[in-house]
Amino acid sequence: MKKITIWVIVTIIIIGASVIAIVSKRDDGSITETTTETVVNVVKTEDISENPTRDPAVIDPAIKIGKQFSDGQCEGGEKPPITHAPMDLADFSMIIPYGLMVSSHVTPIDHQYFEPADRSLGADSYPVYAVAEATLIDISTRPSGAPGGSGTEYRLVFSMSCKLFYDYDLVTSLAPDIEAEFNSRGGRSINIKIKAGQTIGRIGGQTLDFAVWDMEVMLPGFITPRLYEREPWKIHTADPLDYYTEQLKKMLVPKYVRTVEPISGKIDYDIDGKLIGNWFVQNTNGYAGVPDASGNYASTHLSISPDHIDPSTFIVSIGNWPDQQSNQFGVAGNSPDPATVDVSTGIVKYQLVNTSYQTPNGRQWNYDSVGESLSLVEGLEQRGCTLAQLMDDRLLKFESFPGQSCDAIADFTDNALLYER
């Protein structure tokens, strides 16, 4: 009998350390963020080039990725619909899209934020539900600063199948049955069957993070996927609306802040040979980075990408801004467009400015309404200057000059860094 060899593309998944951001809103409408870190299991398998047993995980590369991702706990390859909202409609005021860049989240964030209706009520104010039937495969913990809480918050990963997963973070307490099972195992590796709509915990005093991961999705705007091995789910981040039932869409879309498609947001903006997108200081392990003295691994990150709410404008997000660990700015004149800057452009100057959002009638938006077409407008305060020059399609020279006008900057200094992707 003739031997048949089936070749598959295998992605080795290494689930490393995940940085979590707690977004807070000041009275003046500005956003601040507290960043914490949680360690996730490491899963690594060998490549398989033959399939003598007809193992579906070998026949279908997406299933194999899911098996690796879930440490073998996932089952099947179907992608059932998502039927329930994470929270009751009255319990959250808005859904902030994928793609926010804030504080040490230098590159666009890979989860949505469900903003609780009233943060002042403190931790555990609102129930959190499973959005679909799934297996709860991982729970991790970290210290929590949510007011009135236990001092612990939780991240939960659910497998709907080997192809489809969803994730919650910043949950302030677990449902009693899940907490008992988690504690009885003495660790985070679990396998609990969950029904759609089941209460899995509670949230309050801070946002609920939510994301969907589809192992058949490979985001094209990350032109070098291996750079994201620290957070391997990132390249598989999917639009939740693609999986919601029509009834659920009708319920949730009115809560979306962003009105420009895709309204769920976007996180991958790289264009090969152009300035736009994510960059990492050369030889610093890509997204994993090299932590600075304060432990900030994102200090080696840089992103020049569209705003998460108003993508007609772009943000310069800098990991090593001198007076803070990381910072984000608008650009005076919103030009030149980073999607058009290439090697032939030469040195580009960006005058950095503060920004705010406005409604169509000119009112400053303070995270107090949804359904309006918001515009990001530049302020009068100049925050500094940056120089950027593409040296090659995937090599960038970049330098920041805090507090200075671009009129006073002629060229790079010896402090310029090279970034790659």
Low-confidence ranges of the chain (pLDDT < 50): 1-23, 25-30, 32, 34-53
What is the residue type of 320? N
Structure tokens at 57: 């995980």
- Distances in whole angstroms, Cα of residue 188 to Cα of each of 147, 210, 227, 307, 363: 25, 19, 26, 35, 47
What pLDDT is recorded for position 95?
Answer: 98
Please name which of 307, 338, 302 lies closest in space to residue 107, comparing C-alpha atoms.
302
- My answer on whether omega of the bond before 322 falls inside 30° of 0, hence cis, is no
Give the per-residue pLDDT at 124: 97
What is the three-class DSSP state of 198?
coil
CA distance 372 to 338: 27
DSSP readout, 58-80? HH-HHHHHHHHHTTT----S--P
Report residue 163: phi and psi, to 5°.
-105, -20
Q: Alpha carbon 98 to chain centroid distance?
A: 6
Query: How would you label 220-256 residue by residue, b for 16+ Cβ within 10 Å and e otherwise?
Result: ebbbebebbbbbbbbbbbbbbbebbeeebeeebbebb
Indicate the DSSP class of residue 255: G
Residues in the chain: 421
Coil, helix or strand at residue 33: strand
Residue 344 token pair? 């032939």
Instruction: Name which of 231, 233, 236, 230 is nearest 285 in CA terms.
Output: 230
> Can you give the pTM of this predicted structure?
0.86
**Residue carrying structure tokens 């000059």:** 401
Query: How many CB atoms are closer than 10 A to CB 312?
Result: 10
* CA–CA separation, 268 and 96 (whole Å): 17
Give pairs for 270-274: CB < 8 Å, separation 24+: 270/221, 270/222, 270/223, 270/421, 271/221, 271/223, 271/339, 272/223, 272/393, 272/394, 273/342, 273/343, 273/390, 273/393, 273/394, 274/338, 274/339, 274/340, 274/341, 274/342, 274/390
Buried b (16+ CB within 10 A) or exposed e, 374-383: bbbbbeeebb
45: nearest Cα among 26, 27, 58, 60: 58
The residue written with tokens 């870190």 in the block is 37
- CA dist 218 and 236 (Å) reads 5
Q: Do the Cβ atoms of 390 and 366 come closer than 8 Å?
A: no
pLDDT tens-digit series, residues 223-245 = 999 999 999 999 999 999 999 99
Please choose, from the candidates 189, 190, 244, the residue with its C-alpha nearest in 3D space to the C-alpha of residue 212.
Answer: 244
> Residue 185 has what pLDDT?
85
The span from the CA of 40 to the CA of 22, in Å, is 18
Q: Diameter of the chain by CA atoms? A: 76
- The two three-digit tokens of residue 156, written as one number: 């939960």
3-state secondary structure of 130: coil
Q: Amino acid letter at 131?
A: V
Q: What is the pLDDT of residue 16?
A: 38
